[in-house]
């Protein structure tokens, strides 16, 4: 039988591949502070690396369907936004069936879902297009008292919704420039990705951290990440020591930066779009 060549895959297939690859690469990256990685479960009792992989793979049909919806509707508007919401909710159900009820990738469904659709629609203006989609109000979205909503009420924090509506500033202004700067310094790809994650953590109001550890957790995350970068980044001995300290500090606070992890996956996805389409 003739082997299928990569360029014979449809655009939607390739975007879904890129999104799942980004999620798996994020999960595998180690050592991430207090997050699930190759070393262990971080600050999570119900997550492990195999579950993160299975969850990422379960989302492939959802990402493909989001890209196909964007191609079919072919314009930014409420019909596409509401179709994406419906596909996202179904994807969330598929994830929960795979993980037996554990929330592995809720934030990633939101961020990477919007970016996948945006890449299918406007490959030259992906984050702007994703932001315009995120600004549209899906009339069928449920309004649960999520952790994000609870910490928004308590601390006025801006969460996943606003990050997308603003065009992913944590990725575009922090993560992606750091990823590329670290690569230019020849620190190795894994260290460049760790540095990108740390750069995202320096300013993010991660609602997972806020919910679990309040403003103290956010300060520990932001200042600790900054300290690693100022010490020379994760490829240096001084930076590694700071990274280890940050890991211990976040574990002691039970503070898991799950939102930052999702945004690292978004960063890897956007990085790879160049040249892949």
Ligand X SMILES: CC(C)(COP(=O)(O)OP(=O)(O)OC[C@H]1O[C@@H](n2cnc3c(N)ncnc32)[C@H](O[C@H]2O[C@H](COP(=O)(O)OP(=O)(O)OP(=O)(O)O)[C@@H](O)[C@H]2O)[C@@H]1O)[C@@H](O)C(=O)NCCC(=O)NCCS
Ligand Y SMILES: Nc1ncnc2[nH]cnc12
Q: Which does 200 bind (CB under 5 to 8 A by kind): ligand X, ligand Y, none?
A: none
Query: Is 42 a residue that touches ligand X (CB under 6 A)?
Result: no
Neighbouring CB atoms inside 10 A of 28's CB total 16
Query: Is 256 a residue that touches ligand Y (CB under 6 A)?
Result: yes
Cα of 93 vs its chain's centroid, Å: 18
CA geometry: angle 27, 219, 233, nearest 5 deg: 55
- In angstroms, the CA 115 to CA 15 distance is 10
Cβ-Cβ contacts under 8 Å for 67 (sequence gap 6 or more) = 11, 12, 15, 16, 116, 117, 119, 120
Q: Which of residues 61-100 bind ligand X (CB under 6 A)?
A: 84-85, 88-89, 92
Query: Is 217 a residue that touches ligand Y (CB under 6 A)?
Result: no
Q: Which of residues 153-212 bind ligand X (CB under 6 A)?
A: 159-161, 163, 204-208, 211-212
Peptide bond into 22 cis (omega under 30): no
Between 37 and 68, whose beta carbon lies closer to ligand Y?
A: 37
> What tokens does 257 get?
């930066």
CA geometry: angle 155, 160, 164, nearest 5 deg: 130
Between 33 and 258, whose beta carbon lies closer to ligand X?
A: 258
| Nearest distance in Å: CB 149, ligand Y | 18
Say which DSSP state 91 is in.
H
- Count, residues near ligand Y per rule CB under 6 A: 13
Q: Which of residues 51-70 bind ligand Y (CB under 6 A)?
A: 52
Query: Is 261 a residue that touches ligand Y (CB under 6 A)?
Result: yes
Q: Which does 175 bind (CB under 5 to 8 A by kind): ligand Y, ligand X, none?
A: none
Query: Is 233 a residue that touches ligand Y (CB under 6 A)?
Result: no
CB 217 within 8 A of CB 33: no
Between 80 and 201, whose beta carbon lies closer to ligand Y?
A: 201
Say which DSSP state 170 is in.
I
- In angstroms, the CA 110 to CA 66 distance is 11
Query: Is 36 a residue that touches ligand Y (CB under 6 A)?
Result: yes
Query: Is 170 a residue that touches ligand Y (CB under 6 A)?
Result: no
Q: Which of residues 62-121 bind ligand Y (CB under 6 A)?
A: 108
> What tokens does 246 get?
């940050």
Residues at the contact surface with ligand Y, assessed by CB under 6 A? 26-27, 35-36, 42, 44, 47, 52, 108, 256, 258, 261-262
Residues at the contact surface with ligand X, assessed by CB under 6 A? 84-85, 88-89, 92, 103-110, 113, 141, 146-149, 159-161, 163, 204-208, 211-212, 258-259, 262-263
């Amino acid at each position: 039988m003739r082997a299928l060549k990569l360029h014979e895959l449809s655009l939607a297939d390739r975007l879904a591949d890129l999104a799942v690859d980004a999620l798996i690469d994020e999960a595998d990256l180690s050592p991430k502070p207090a997050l699930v990685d190759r070393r262990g479960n971080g600050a999570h009792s119900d997550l492990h690396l195999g579950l993160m992989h299975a969850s990422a793979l379960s989302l492939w049909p959802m990402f493909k369907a989001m890209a196909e919806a964007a191609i079919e509707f072919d314009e930014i508007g409420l019909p596409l936004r509401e179709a994406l919401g419906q596909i996202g909710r179904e994807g969330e159900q598929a994830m929960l069936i795979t993980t037996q009820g554990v929330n592995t990738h809720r934030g990633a469904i939101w961020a990477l879902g919007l970016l996948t659709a945006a890449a299918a629609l406007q490959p030259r203006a992906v984050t702007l297009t994703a932001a315009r989609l995120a600004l549209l109000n899906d009339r069928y979205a449920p309004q649960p008292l999520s952790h994000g909503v609870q910490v928004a009420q308590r601390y006025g924090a801006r969460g996943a919704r606003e990050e997308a509506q603003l065009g992913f500033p944590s990725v575009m202004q922090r993560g992606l420039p750091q990823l590329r700067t670290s690569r230019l310094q020849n620190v190795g790809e894994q260290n460049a990705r760790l540095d990108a994650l740390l750069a995202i953590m320096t300013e993010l109001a991660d609602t997972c951290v806020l919910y679990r550890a309040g403003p103290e957790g956010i300060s520990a995350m932001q200042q600790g990440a900054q300290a690693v970068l100022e010490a020379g980044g994760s490829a240096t001995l001084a930076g590694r020591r700071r990274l280890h300290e940050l890991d211990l500090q976040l574990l002691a606070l039970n503070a898991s930066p799950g939102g930052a992890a999702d945004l690292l996956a978004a960063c890897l996805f956007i990085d790879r779009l160049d040249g892949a389409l």
